[in-house]
């Protein structure tokens, strides 16, 4: 590194990579995340994809981006406004300039700011030259031409060389943040080991970008972010969908059951199907069905046969699965339904995030069909809640819906590999007595779950299905009083699970003016907002977060009673707020709802809290 370059230390920083949907921004962002993880930083990321498979090249609608917040402190969100904005063309600048902080840095591929591309992005003049970006630190890097120069003797076609310009940009950003190239180059060698020419091209492009930053001194300073003080252990960056898949594999190992995944591909849940289909070495059985209904019915069959059975989907698929999920409820079979929520209704915004399926998870079945509903909070804890969903399904012999969403599924965060004792063992409720004394709907007295016996177990052959069953014997019956008894038993079984789930914790004030409430993926933004307000001296604001939704934690009412007002923040039109009102109508609720296909910004939450307190 040039000796005249100054070094600046920063506690945390937000970087956004943006370009055309074919510019490789997701790979670039992921590799920068890997480099930051190797450096010991905590981080959270969020990709943003266009909904079209191939939007018009150079159009604003076709812009793809990847945002990362990294720091030497705990990071819970991908950040609000951006410190460094990387743009590969004019459309990327037009789409993302609104997110850049005043005085922030723009790194632009100046080669792509041609008259043709400027016109596509609705620019009348070149913003790199007309003074409109004077309030920012503008770095013009001719990434396209310098990449072609670095790769000219490899014998590649021009189009193939241009595809490596994202690696040039990555090298430039690695230089900016004082990252060594070694780990990133090793990552490239592992990822593309079957294509030596591609490895060579990417290595040359990265080195060209790094050398451009070093030789031109365009930054004037390099940025150093110290390692975060995270708990000791082995870490890797993980996205939410991969974390779900691995959590389910861990659960299958714990309960000594074969894992069966029966699913139909749907955005943004398909990666769970992809990941588990590559894990046959760990005993995973994967069935890609012809549609959503076939998928859930196959999963129910696998559960009846004695496998740890999973089906994955998104909102439209959950609608199609609803009747069959009712079958799993009345048959009282352990089934995990993973719903990776996206913005709806119908096709809606299929690549954007939302929390709009809560009502469907709670009520979206005909008849009284109660089940467990839980939700993940971050990409890394998708592992633990997938494991927890499987544990609750198996131990209580009931369907469980696990709610994730697009933000969690595609975002990444550091995940510490579990150590011995970190995960509760999953205990399968088997009947261990004389088979002659067993009946298919006998129940364990404390939690009312029936025993999970496979019809293939000798002496335990039985039938099950969607018609009402006689209490204890499981024989089919149309007796009116028995149907009412069984309906109450199924509901009470779910309610009693509240005794086995963790109680709510409160961050900040334990009583006072305002309790901020969130569920699922809103945790990061709300937690950061409340923590920052406490650091600024606000002493009467608390925060509690729900991962267990049906049933609710036992101490919910006790915590609510300690505050004057309750602010519920969610990415829908108030579904959790209405659910809480139905359970605890006596409290004073406020709502903050965002329905834009984007997660909350920390600044938005803080502004809403300040507004409520000031009034």
Which domain CATH number covers 318? Answer: 3.40.50.970
In this structure, of 221-235, 316-330, 442-456, 460-474, the range with the lowest mean pLDDT score is 221-235
User: What does the pLDDT look like over 24-64, one tens digit per residue?
Assistant: 999 999 999 999 999 999 999 999 988 776 778 889 989 99
User: What does the pLDDT look like over 520-567, one tens digit per residue?
Assistant: 999 999 999 999 999 999 999 999 999 999 999 999 999 999 999 999
H/E segment holding residue 542: strand 541-546
Which whole-number Å values give the CA distances from 609 to 508, 520, 543, in the listed order? 14, 19, 11
Region 138-142: what's the mean pLDDT?
96
Region 230-258: what's the mean pLDDT?
96
Residue 416 buriedness (CB in 10 A; 0-12 / 13-18 / 19+): middle
**Which pTM does this prediction carry?**
0.95
> Residue 612's closest CA among 525, 530, 556?
530
- The beta-strand segments (E) located in 21-99 are 42-48, 63-71, 82-87
Same domain, 209 and 338: no
Dist CA 325 CA 399 (whole Å): 8
- Domain containing 555 equals 507-614
User: What does the pLDDT look like over 152-188, one tens digit per residue?
Assistant: 999 999 999 999 999 999 999 999 999 999 999 999 9
- Residue that is last in its domain, among 373, 389, 416: 416
pLDDT at position 138, please?
96
Which domain CATH number covers 557? Answer: 3.40.50.920
Q: Is residue 427 part of a domain?
A: no
pLDDT at position 55, please?
73
Same domain, 487 and 551: no
Same domain, 89 and 168: yes
pLDDT at 3 over 70: no
Number of domains in the chain: 4
Same domain, 489 and 382: no
CA atoms within 13 A on the CB side of 566: 26
pLDDT at 298 over 60: yes
pLDDT at position 57, please?
84
Q: With cut-offs at 50, 70 and 90, classify the pLDDT of residue 570.
A: very high
Largest CA distance in the chain: 87
Same domain, 48 and 111: yes
Region 96-103: what's the mean pLDDT?
96
Dist CA 472 CA 489 (whole Å): 11
Q: Is residue 568 part of a domain?
A: yes
By the 8 A CB rule, do 444 and 424 touch?
Answer: no
By the 8 A CB rule, do 529 and 605 touch?
Answer: yes
Same domain, 77 and 25: yes
- Residue that is last in its domain, among 471, 500, 529: 500
Dist CA 493 CA 321 (whole Å): 22
**Cα distance between the two ends of the chain:** 54
Pairing mode, strands 308-313 and 512-519: unpaired
pLDDT at 513 over 70: yes
pLDDT at position 5, please?
55
Q: Is residue 430 part of a domain?
A: no
Average pLDDT of the residues of the chain: 95
Same domain, 292 and 408: yes
Which domain CATH number covers 215? Answer: 3.40.920.10
pLDDT at position 53, please?
67
By the 8 A CB rule, do 494 and 329 touch?
Answer: no
Q: Is residue 458 part of a domain?
A: yes
User: Using omega within 30 degrees of 0 as the cis cutoff, is the peptide bond preceding 19 cis?
Assistant: no
Same domain, 283 and 398: yes
Same domain, 220 and 285: no
Same domain, 370 and 391: yes
Same domain, 343 and 209: no
- Residue that is last in its domain, among 500, 524, 548: 500
pLDDT above 70 covers what percent of the chain?
Answer: 99
Q: Is residue 233 part of a domain?
A: no
Region 407-428: what's the mean pLDDT?
95
Same domain, 147 and 284: no
pLDDT above 90 covers what percent of the chain?
Answer: 93
Q: Is residue 54 part of a domain?
A: yes
User: What does the pLDDT look like over 362-397, one tens digit per residue?
Assistant: 999 999 999 999 999 999 999 999 999 999 999 999
pLDDT at 255 over 80: yes
Q: Is residue 229 part of a domain?
A: no
> Residue 77's closest CA among 611, 541, 529?
529
Q: Is residue 391 part of a domain?
A: yes
In this structure, of 42-46, 146-150, 291-295, 420-424, the range with the lowest mean pLDDT score is 420-424
């Amino acid at each position: 590194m040039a000796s005249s370059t100054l070094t600046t230390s920063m506690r945390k920083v937000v970087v956004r990579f943006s370009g055309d949907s074919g510019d490789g921004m997701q790979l670039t962002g992921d590799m920068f995340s890997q480099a930051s993880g190797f450096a010991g930083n905590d981080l959270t990321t969020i990709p943003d994809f266009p909904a079209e498979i191939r939007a018009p090249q150079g159009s604003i609608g076709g812009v793809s981006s990847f945002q990362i917040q990294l720091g030497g402190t705990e990071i819970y969100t991908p950040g609000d406004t951006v410190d460094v904005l990387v743009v590969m063309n004019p459309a990327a600048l037009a789409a993302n300039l609104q997110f850049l902080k005043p005085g922030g840095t723009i790194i632009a591929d100046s080669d792509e700011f041609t008259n043709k591309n400027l016109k596509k992005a609705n620019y009348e003049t070149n913003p790199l030259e007309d003074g409109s970006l004077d309030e920012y630190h503008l770095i013009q890097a001719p990434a396209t031409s310098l990449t072609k120069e670095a790769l000219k003797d490899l014998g590649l076609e021009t189009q193939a060389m241009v595809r490596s310009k994202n690696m040039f940009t990555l090298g430039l950003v690695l230089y900016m943040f004082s990252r060594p190239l070694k780990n990133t180059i090793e990552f490239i060698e592992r990822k593309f080991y079957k294509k030596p020419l591609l490895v060579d091209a990417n290595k040359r492009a990265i080195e060209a970008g790094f050398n451009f930053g070093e030789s031109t001194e365009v930054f004037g300073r390099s940025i150093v972010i110290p390692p975060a003080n995270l708990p000791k252990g082995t870490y890797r960056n993980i996205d939410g969908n991969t974390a779900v898949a691995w959590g389910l594999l861990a659960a299958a190992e714990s309960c000594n059951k074969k894992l069966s995944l029966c699913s139909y591909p749907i955005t943004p849940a398909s990666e769970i199907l992809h990941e588990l289909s590559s894990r046959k070495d760990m005993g995973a059985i994967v069935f890609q069905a012809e549609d959503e209904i076939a998928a859930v019915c196959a999963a129910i069959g696998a559960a009846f046969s004695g496998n740890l059975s999973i089906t994955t989907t998104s909102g439209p698929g959950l609608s199609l699965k609803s009747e069959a999920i009712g079958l799993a409820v009345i048959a009282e079979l352990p089934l995990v339904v993973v719903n990776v929520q996206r913005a709806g209704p119908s096709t809606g915004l299929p690549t954007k995030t939302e929390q709009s399926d809560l009502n469907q998870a709670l009520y979206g079945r005909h008849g009284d069909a109660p089940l467990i509903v839980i939700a993940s909070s971050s990409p890394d804890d998708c592992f633990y809640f997938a494991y927890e969903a499987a544990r609750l399904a198996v131990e209580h012999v009931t369907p469980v819906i696990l709610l994730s969403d697009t933000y969690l599924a595609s975002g990444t965060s550091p995940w510490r590999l579990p150590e011995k004792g970190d995960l509760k063992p999953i205990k399968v409720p088997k009947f261990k007595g004389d088979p002659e004394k067993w009946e298919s709907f006998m129940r364990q007295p404390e939690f009312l779950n029936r025993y999970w016996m496979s019809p293939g177990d000798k002496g335990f052959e039985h039938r099950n299905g969607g018609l009402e069953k006689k209490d204890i014997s499981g024989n089919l019956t149309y007796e009116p009083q028995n149907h009412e008894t069984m309906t109450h038993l199924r509901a009470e079984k779910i309610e009693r699970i509240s005794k086995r789930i963790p109680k709510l914790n409160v961050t900040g004030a334990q009583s006072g003016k305002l309790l901020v409430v969130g569920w699922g993926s809103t945790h990061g933004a709300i937690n950061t907002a409340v923590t920052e307000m406490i650091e600024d001296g606000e002493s009467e604001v608390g925060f509690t977060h729900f991962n267990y939704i049906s049933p609710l934690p036992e101490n919910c009412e006790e915590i609510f009673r300690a505050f004057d007002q309750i602010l519920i923040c969610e990415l829908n039109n108030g579904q959790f707020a209405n659910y809480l009102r139905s359970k605890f109508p006596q409290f004073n609720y406020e709502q903050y709802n965002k329905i834009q296909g984007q997660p909350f910004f920390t600044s938005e939450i803080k502004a809403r809290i300040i507004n409520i307190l000031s009034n």
